[in-house]
Amino acid sequence: SLKTTIPHFIDWTIQHQREKDVFLAWHCGNAPLGLKASNSEIYLKSHSILGEMLGPQICEGTAEFQLKEGKVTLSRIVEYDGEFKMLITKGEIIPSKDKLRGSWSWVRVSDLANLYRTLVEEGFIHHASMIHGDISNSLVEFCRFTGMEAVIV
């Protein structure tokens, strides 16, 4: 999938106010412009967090937009006491008319409560990788070959 699309760094954030099993995959920084949704504008702004701390004149140039729709795979590797494990889950970016800061998308997953519970109980931290397409089988195989535990949600 890396030959056809680009991974993106996200935060696992809030659940949607009205939609079941939908969460905001968001990050304050830039995303690759090739991931922009067709109905989204690109806004070049001061970084939403660093601009407040360091001043907007130092932090200009952050491209902000909604990410394109489609199936995605989300993953995160963590290490505790020399043991590695990878969270692997799938979802689908759904369209939105919201106007948010950063690079963002609403992602529908099969069971958001279970995903949030797994993040906390298994010790996965708040950042993850998101890539368009279903590469979950490849990630599971990677875990198998490397001896890493695959935590599939």
What fold does the segment set 8-152 form as a domain? L-fucose Isomerase; Chain A, domain 3 (3.20.14)
pLDDT at position 2 over 70: no
Residues 33 and 6: their CA atoms lie apart, in Å, by 10
pLDDT value of position 47: 67
Q: Does pTM surpass 0.95?
A: no
Stretch 95-119: mean pLDDT, rounded?
A: 96
Helix, strand, coil abundance in the chain, percent, nearest 5: 20, 45, 35
Stretch 83-93: mean pLDDT, rounded?
A: 98
Owner of token pair 């001043």:
55
Q: How far is CA 106 from the centre of its chain?
A: 10
Residues 115 and 153: their CA atoms lie apart, in Å, by 6
Q: What tokens does 132 get?
A: 């368009």
